[in-house]
Structure 1
């Protein structure tokens, strides 16, 4: 029964959301200010469901309960049980996101009974001069940081980096960050919805008429004040090859550009595999059946799906697994 699976995305209103998920990625919704498309989610009360085939209507939790390691991979099932470890999104920021930070596994478990939130970004489109905030520009300590918050000069100590299509960034827990205006990206993260807002431009949410809550005390407890020489991930882009992108203890991701045919054998990968199409379109062939994937779409291969053929005139795929 287990074949490549597509899920129905969940569309999330965000104060900073735009319309690129509809106009660029062809998402089908009628709401305004949609900032996130949750492609594959096991977040409580936000579980995505299979859209077609014999398993139509199944949530991730139901798939794991029924198929266990056959779906997740035996090692993943042994580690996580019936919890799916990743949350997969596309994000469109019309205006900047709040300056924020995420806690690690231990802190999130103690305070929220949740996983921590290590994540990565792959830039799919960026307006001219669009940037992101990632990390600090110079060394500061907690006392200096709190002073910058009080006098609203915190943006002055952040590292701003202009971005373009194809740029990739790893955002480990503790690293301060924000997606800037005009950026659309693919996000891969641990299954967690825990975010500590540090600064939100004093803006008012039109749906509530209020400013959004800040979490400066929690943020200060989990912040990593180290300054890195570079925050961007360098990677190869060899055609028809799984080029190592970001490999962490929490997920692995590769950049897979396709022209022609690529045969993939996952018999040595004890994990589900997720494809996110970030450019073009492709066809996945499995057991003499075709599964189409277009830009802005996501497909999950259960762990028991080992041999697939990918075909495309010109596509770029993010290949994600545990």
Structure 2
């Protein structure tokens, strides 16, 4: 079991939910993001306790290789950890964005694209987000709508309630709205194209850069009837809410002890506690597991015993 020091990111739009959610003794204000597990260059999380204390995630991957991430993952991703885990607290609307697919990112000279998902934590009443197109538009119409400030008219908008899941494959337009508090699971990538920023100015009075052309090339213009992931909210069993080539995620809402069997899985597993409190036993270790905790289980882990009343996300590649 490996725990990391969170990387807290202060932002202009950050709120006040992350510090108490994670039970941190910290007075930082406007914390917009907590990077829980990150191998992003210059933003690597550091192990907080145990035999690997003080080592970065990427050092661990280099040292433990397939023992940490799994054989297939190590062959596929090498010394780069494939997932980035965050909590995001938006006090204001974030910009409307899109991420390219791996294929388009390569064409544009980037390493990889970004597919991601959100799990909604306890957000402000009436908080909303954008996810996907609700009407058919062409790349030319898209550019015109950005220019004349009507691009939000083409987007599907959702009120956010705790437990909502939104899967965001590369190419899907999206934006987190004011009052949203989410856990985010994503490919390790920082390629983001800003589509629209509501004509806001930065502290120097300048508009933030838009990436209209790159975004137009990256957008998937498919229209779907629903972009919220529908799932059955069941107790004491894993409910799969997302699966794609980059991650598989399930939700567990436990009121009784459970053993998670990973003997057949060739991957690390990340467990993210979103509510309640319990304990985890694995590989001869036991630790508390409560709201705000994120724990990395190496690929050598055969089983994890979870007890207590705790709700958590499980994700692996």
Structure-2-length-normalised TM-score = 0.96
1:249-277 per-residue CA deviation (whole Å, 9 max, x = no partner) reads 11000001111210111010100000001
- Segments of structure 1 that go 5 or more residues without pairing to the other structure are none
Match of 1:229 in 2: 225
| Equivalent pair of 2:2/2:297 in contact (CA under 8 Å) | yes
- Is 1:195 the counterpart of 2:195? The answer is no
Root-mean-square deviation (CA, aligned residues, Å) is: 1.4
Match of 1:87 in 2: 84
Match of 2:258 in 1: 262
1:107 positional shift: 2.2
1:194 positional shift: 0.9
1:278 positional shift: 0.8
- Is 1:318 the counterpart of 2:313? The answer is yes
- In the alignment, the residues of structure 1 paired with residue 163 and residue 157 of structure 2 have an alpha-carbon distance, to the nearest angstrom, of 17
Q: Secondary structure at the match of 1:125?
A: coil
Structure-1-length-normalised TM-score = 0.95
- In the alignment, the residues of structure 2 paired with residue 45 and residue 108 of structure 1 have an alpha-carbon distance, to the nearest angstrom, of 21
| Residue of structure 1 aligned with 2:112, choices 98, 104, 115 | 115
Seen in structure 2, the aligned counterparts of structure 1 residues 212 and 77 have a Cα distance that, compared at 3 Å, is same
Q: Point out 4+ residue stretches in structure 1 off by more than 6 angstroms.
A: none
1:122-179 per-residue CA deviation (whole Å, 9 max, x = no partner) reads 0012212111101112111112111111111111111111110000011011110001
| Equivalent pair of 2:121/2:183 in contact (CA under 8 Å) | yes
Seen in structure 2, the aligned counterparts of structure 1 residues 320 and 43 have a Cα distance that, compared at 3 Å, is same
| Equivalent pair of 2:134/2:225 in contact (CA under 8 Å) | no
Q: How does 1:1-322 map to 2 (within 5 A)?
A: 4-206=1-203, 208-312=204-308, 314-322=309-317
- Segments of structure 2 that go 5 or more residues without pairing to the other structure are none
Which deviates the most, 30-39 or 92-101?
Answer: 30-39
Aligned length: 317
1:103 positional shift: 0.7
